Amino acid sequence: MEKTRIQSDIMDILSSPSLKKEDIVPILKMGSKKEMEALQSLAMEVKREKVGRGVYFRGLVEFSNVCRKNCFYCGLRKDNKKVSRFRLSEEEILNTAAFAHENRYGSLVLQSGENQSKEHIDFICRIVKRIKSQYNLGITLSCGEQSEDTYRRFFRNGAHRYLLRVETSSRELYGKWHPDDGKHRFETRLDCLRSLKNIGFQLGSGSMVGVPYQTYEDIAGDILFLRDMEVDMMGIGPFIEHSGTPFYRSEAYSIPREERLNVTLRMIAVLRILLKDVNIASTTALQVLDKFGREKGLMFGANVIMPNLTPTIRRKDYLLYEDKPCLEEDAFHCNSCLSARIACVGDTIGYGEWGDPLHFFRRINRSSPLWL
């Protein structure tokens, strides 16, 4: 494809071996229609070439909202006493796995708030093992910070991917987004990510866009962080306010609210162009800001969609942010809705495939010849 002037400029910047935050910021600010189109078609070209037009489904099961943390942005924070706390039963979770299996989803994401109790860890190990032996689905866990031993147990029981968003790669900003109580340490976050990688998980991470105090430089820093941490899968979503949190009606925005969706899309495009063969999710939060937010995510380079499989009666109790879509819908409805959305943008669904990111295999081949 013949490149336009804007596209050649973007490629020159992003292919530089000494790429710096300051170089990325102007791309994150490319707001004109022409610039957005240039970025979008570049990202699409890289996606087509490096990962193809197949979109992988990961059935999302939000299996418990019990959380020990108090992140200033999140509706599930411990001090939000309005939340009715729950954990799905093993049978309920197995039913979601059966649905995923019947509908030929390659894998399942089991997500919960952060709970380090032995009872909860044992529960997770048991359920992972049961799903694995009954359905052999790929299993991704997203259960927050845990000890290295715990991560190892998860791995041994059959989970092979783990999602832990760094939230922000800036230590200073991390401090502004979380209480200073010893439970919310940036260092711990980094240690967890390193442990997960050492154990052999396919590593997922990511960040939010447009949170109070965050600047374009911070977002550029997040992009470089994900590159340097060699993350295989990313989830990037716009920040959405929740009335039960300290960040509700904050005045401390550096990035204008109305820019949040487009900055997120530009960040997805930059990640695709820069990192090429990673998996990138088109997150539900995108859809809160725009009816076609998830379609747009796919058009800016994302290749993973996470249909919600959480039983409908529990969905309203898992509000990380307000105005979350699909609260009244069930797994069947979301399944057909998302299939239509994917077809709309000309992508196809990678049915029955685990959809492991090529990036992971390239990474382990390089670091350990034993895997060759």
Cβ closer to ligand SF4: 167 or 218?
167
Token pair of 223 as six digits: 């992009």
Q: How many residues bind ligand FES (CB under 6 A)?
A: 7
The region, left, alpha or beta by phi > 0 then psi within -120 to 50, assigned to residue 310 is beta
Q: Closest Cα to residue 22, out of 219, 170, 166, 269?
A: 219
76 binds ligand SF4 per the rule CB under 6 A? yes
Cβ closer to ligand FES: 175 or 325?
325
Half-sphere exposure of 92 (CA within 13 A, CB side): 16
Q: How many helices (H) and strands (E) does the chain have?
A: 15, 9
Q: Closest Cα to residue 265, out of 57, 58, 7, 30?
A: 30
Among 36, 44, 74, 298, binds ligand SF4 (CB under 6 A): 74
302 binds ligand FES per the rule CB under 6 A? no
Q: Closest Cα to residue 120, out of 156, 83, 90, 79?
A: 90
Query: Do 329 and 307 meet the contact criterion of CB atoms below 8 Å apart?
Result: no
Among 100, 109, 226, 326, binds ligand FES (CB under 6 A): 326
Q: Which stretch binds ligand 5AD (CB under 6 A): 86-94, 100-108, 239-247, 271-279?
A: 239-247
**Class of residue 233 by CB neighbours under 10 A (exposed 0-12, middle 13-18, buried 19+):** buried
- Least spacing, CB of residue 241 vs ligand FES, in Å: 21
- Least spacing, CB of residue 42 vs ligand SF4, in Å: 32
DSSP string over 166-229: -B-S-HHHHHHHS-SSSSS-HHHHHHHHHHHHHHTPEEEEEEEES-TT--HHHHHHHHHHHHHT
Rounded CA separation 170/222 (Å): 8
Rounded CA separation 355/244 (Å): 36
Among 242, 296, 314, 363, binds ligand 5AD (CB under 6 A): 242
> Which listed option, ligand SF4, ligand 5AD, ligand FES, none, makes contact with residue 329 (CB within 5 to 8 Å by class)?
ligand FES
226 binds ligand 5AD per the rule CB under 6 A? no
Contact letters (x/-) for ligand 5AD, 287-326, by CB under 6 A?
---------------------------------xx-----
Residues in contact with 231: Cβ distance below 8 Å, sequence separation at least 6, in sequence order: 203, 204, 205, 206, 278
Cβ closer to ligand FES: 304 or 326?
326
Token pair of 122 as six digits: 């044992």
Cβ closer to ligand 5AD: 200 or 246?
246
Rounded CA separation 357/244 (Å): 36
| Binding positions for ligand 5AD, 324-363, rule CB under 6 A | none
Cβ closer to ligand 5AD: 263 or 320?
320
212 binds ligand SF4 per the rule CB under 6 A? no
- Least spacing, CB of residue 167 vs ligand 5AD, in Å: 5
71 binds ligand SF4 per the rule CB under 6 A? yes
62 binds ligand SF4 per the rule CB under 6 A? no
Cβ closer to ligand FES: 203 or 334?
334
> Which listed option, ligand SF4, ligand 5AD, ligand FES, none, makes contact with residue 239 (CB within 5 to 8 Å by class)?
ligand 5AD
Rounded CA separation 233/162 (Å): 9
239 binds ligand 5AD per the rule CB under 6 A? yes
Contact letters (x/-) for ligand FES, 328-367, by CB under 6 A?
-x---xx--xx-----------------------------
Q: In the complex, which residues of this chain contact ligand 5AD (CB under 6 A)? A: 73-74, 165, 167, 208, 237, 239-240, 242, 285, 320-321
